[in-house]
Amino acid sequence: MENKLTTIPPEVGGALGNSILDKATATANYMEGLVVSTEDDVDKAQRALNESRKIYKGWDEKRKEITRVLDVRKRAIMDFFNPPMKLVEKAGNKLKKKLYEFSERKRAEAARAAEEERKRIERNAAKRAERAEEKGEAERAEDIRQEAAQAAAQAAQAVTEARGKTTQVGVSQRDNWKAEVLDMRLFAEQVANGLVPAHLLILDSKEASKYATAMKDTVSIQGLRIYNEPYLAANRGR
């Protein structure tokens, strides 16, 4: 339901809402139209103000009466949804941890396999080069060692890649950098010396976290602790 001043919420009701809005318009128009040029006008204006205060107080009480009921209903709804939401969230976090741990195991297995392959290549090359030298084929032995060195380098690269690769299980570990002021005096000195942005003195947690995220562990500031609390996040689209 619409009114020229505002939309009337269903909790207020059409009849009450319209009466309030009509009364507000009429009262405002009356007070704005008053002219104060005589003692009688002063008396009339004061009566109008007193009446407007009563009207205002009555509406404020009615508003609180209605919203009090809504607040109770909102609290009941929040209390109902919170436990099941937390239960599912907790179970989801446990499952993400299992997925991440599986990914870490697979990554470690791949790294071990690549490392074993590197060692195998080096052992075989050493034996072949030794046999070549026993036959007096020094040049052949050197070629074998060079070929083995290249293969071992490729295997070593595979080890590095395996250690840095996360199995695609839909979960990854993400950085969550934060900042905490440990000593305000020392921290303020760092700001005064131009080592830290001055706006961080406001101690706004969001701004501090933004700074920590940007700088990570690349800076060391007296009085300020920058630390990382990584968390597991589920990847979208799987």
pTM over 0.85: no
**Can you name the residues that pair with 180 across neighbouring β-strands?**
225
Q: Which residues of 207-222 are buried (b: 16+ CB within 10 A; e: fewer)?
A: ebeebbeeeeeeeebe
Residue 233 or residue 179, greater confidence: 179
Q: Which of the residue ranges 26-30, 65-69, 222-226 has the most confident prediction, judged by mean pLDDT?
A: 26-30
What is the Cα–Cα distance from 69 to 166, expressed in whole angstroms? 52
Per-residue pLDDT reduced to its tens digit, 18-41: 888 889 999 999 999 999 999 998
> Which candidate, 214, 215, 224, places its Cα nearest to that of 188?
224
Q: Hey, where are the domains in the chain? A: 14-79, 89-164, 171-234
Residue 161 binned pLDDT confidence (cut-offs 50, 70, 90)? low
pLDDT of residue 235: 55
Which residues, at least 6 apart from 17, have a Cβ–Cβ distance to it below 8 Å?
A: 1, 3, 8, 9
Segment among 68-77, 120-129, 177-186 with least mean pLDDT: 177-186
Residue 141 or residue 29, greater confidence: 29
What is the Cα–Cα distance from 232 to 238, expressed in whole angstroms? 16
Q: Token pair of 5, please?
A: 């001043």
